[in-house]
Amino acid sequence: MKTPPRPPAPRQAAPVAPARSARSDAAAQVASARIHFGRVFKAESASYFLLLGTTLFLVVFGLVMVLSSSSVDSYLENTGFFGTVLRQGVFALVGVPLMLIISRLPLKFWRRVAWPMLIVACLMQSLVVFTPLGIEVAGNTNWLSIGGVQFQPSEAIKLALVVWLGMILSQKENRLDDWRHVYIPVFGVGGGAVMLVLIGGDLGTVMIMAGILFGSLFFAGVRLRLLAVPLAAGLLLAGLMALTSSNRMTRILSFMGAGCDEVDGPISAPCWQPLHGTWALANGGIFGVGLGNSKAKWSWLPAADNDYIFAIVGEELGLIGAIVVLFMFILLALAFLRVMRSSTSLQARVSTAAVLVWLIGQAFVNIGVVLGVFPVLGVPLPLVSAGGTALLTTLGAIGIVLSFTRGDHVSQPRRTTTSTDTSGVEQ
């Protein structure tokens, strides 16, 4: 009798080394983190990288020029040679990551926060003009001091207007031919926000804000005949504000040459700054005197690190350096125009246009003042001049535009797909 064969013994699974498993899990987590981190910089078009690269260049360039132009005044103020640039660097370190975070927010988020942003900004500006918390600088009450920290709520109003105008005009998209749907919200609410800044006396900032209002309406498709009356009223109001202020009239007269005879007589105080700005540019020539070798920054040129930093650029880097700055702002404008052209949402298009008018218009005014084309208005050069509040709000505005390069409000190229049948042959 044969003995039946024994069934084979079940095989036992080989034990897995715990150390190797842990290493594999860690490697998978690192790879996953890399993928998610890479998504932060994934954009829908090249406009994102053009705008981001130009912005970062101007921020770094601005830090270098702030260091050069402010070192002497910082030392005289007992904050060391690096006092001003370190403070500006802190705002840049906060502003750039904030810009990247803002660029990830969807379009619907800006619809929801448009009204709260404008209301909060106007309340802060009301504290400036109606309470003792407001601080007067150079004849303008435009600063708010809370807890020892000073900032400009007017810059927050600019940012809020960018978001609010895009939202409100997109809601009125089919009724922009009716003057009631243009005048009441835009010049009623938006104009009221601008008036709060005008009460503080900062006419230069008011002109930039007015440009934001009219620029948004123009790019939204509002007919020019509807803009003629408010434009004429705005120009009349600006003229009255200039004529009724002795400080502004002095600036206008100095722009026309009154008291600026530097050869036969003493230089008047209003002429001091524009004249030394012109001399700084002339001293630079074509190639400049070299980075850090400016003479005007040795307490000869007021606001050398702020309103007149372009004069230091021209002196130290010459005509070539000045042209590079102009070229970078042209690239910035082209990036904004690319975003506007690719946007299918009126909200994204209007808000981008508002940022375009704000930054490029302010750069044009600042450089024009330094070149003697305009009287002194006191507006900084965006992304380059010293000023923490201005840098943060500017980077925030650019972050908003970067967010418009993503999502369904940007036209996408059509993708062709192929279907495969069961036999594996493409159809």
Per residue in 366-400, pLDDT (tens digit) is: 999 999 898 888 899 999 999 999 999 999 999 99
**What tokens does 111 get?**
């619809």
Q: Is 121 helix (H, G, I), strand (E, B) or coil?
A: helix
Q: How far does Cα 134 stand from its chain's mean position?
A: 24
Place 414 in a pLDDT band, splitting at 50, 70 and 90. very low
pLDDT at 226: 87
Reported as a single tens digit per residue, the pLDDT across 215-253 is: 999 999 898 888 888 999 888 988 888 887 777 787 887
Residue 397's nearest CA partner among 121, 37, 22 is 121
The secondary element (H helix, E strand) that includes residue 149 is: strand 149-151
How far is Cα 61 from Cα 296, in angstroms, rounded to an integer?
19
Q: How many domains does the chain have?
A: 1
Q: Percentage of the chain with pLDDT > 70? A: 81
Label residue 103 exposed, middle or buried (CB < 10 Å: 0-12, 13-18, 19+).
buried
Q: pLDDT grade, residue 177 (50/70/90)? A: confident
pLDDT at site 255: 77
| CA-angle at 165, arms to 358 and 98, nearest 5° | 60
pLDDT of amino acid 419 = 43
Residue 411 placed within a domain: no
**What pTM was estimated for this model as a whole?**
0.84
Separation of alpha carbons 281 and 319, rounded Å: 8
381 in a structural domain: yes
d(CA 358, CA 340): 15
DSSP string over 32-61: HHHHHHHHTT--SSHHHHHHHHHHHHHHHH
pLDDT band at 7 (very low <50, low <70, confident <90, very high): low
Contact indicator for 306, 386 with CB cutoff of 8 Å? yes
| Residue 25: predicted pLDDT | 57
Question: Lowest mean pLDDT: which of 2-6, 203-207, 220-224?
Answer: 2-6
158 contact partners, CB below 8 Å, separation of at least 6:
205, 208, 209, 212, 358, 393, 397
Quick one: pLDDT at residue 411? Answer: 56
Continuous segment of H or E residues that includes residue 393: helix 388-404
146-157 pLDDT, tens digit per residue, is 877 788 999 999
Which run of H or E residues covers position 360?
helix 346-371
Average pLDDT value for residue range 41-56: 81
Going by C-beta distance under 8 Å and a sequence separation of 6 or more, which residues neighbour residue 385? 62, 66, 305, 306, 307, 309, 366
Give the other-Cβ count within 10 Å of 27's Cβ: 10
What domain range includes position 162?
45-404
Looking at the DSSP bridge assignments, the partners of residue 146 are 149
Residue 415: per-residue pLDDT? 44
425 pLDDT higher than 70? no
Half-sphere exposure of 10 (CA within 13 A, CB side): 2
Question: Is 81 strand, coil or helix?
Answer: coil
β partners of residue 150: 145
Report whether pLDDT(329) > 60.
yes
Q: What is the pLDDT of residue 16?
A: 47
Rounded mean pLDDT, 290-300 = 92
In angstroms, rounded to a whole number, what is the distance separating the alpha carbons of residues 403 and 349? Answer: 12
Report strand pairing: 140-146 vs 134-137: antiparallel
Mean pLDDT along residues 407-413:
53
Write down the H helix ranges in 244-345: 246-255, 269-284, 309-342
pLDDT at residue 270, as a whole number:
76
Is 14 among the domain residues?
A: no
φ/ψ of 277, rounded to 5, equals: -65, -40
CA distance 84 to 392: 16
Residue 35, pLDDT above cutoff 60: no
From residue 23, how far is each of 17, 32, 37 by CA, in Å?
10, 14, 21
Determine the pLDDT at residue 142.
Answer: 85
Contact 30, 352 (CB under 8 A): no
- Collect all residues with Cβ–Cβ distance below 8 Å to 290 and sequence separation of at least 6: 316
Residue 423's pLDDT band, with cuts at 50, 70 and 90, is very low
Better-scored residue on pLDDT, 130 or 41: 130
Q: What is the pLDDT of residues 9-21, one digit of tens each?
A: 555 545 544 545 5
Average pLDDT, whole number, for the chain?
A: 84
Kindly state the tokens that stand for 406: 């993503």
Of the listed ranges 106-110, 122-126, 267-271, 274-278, the least confidently predicted one is: 267-271
Task: Evaluate if residue 50 carries a pLDDT over 90.
Answer: yes
4 vs 287, higher pLDDT = 287
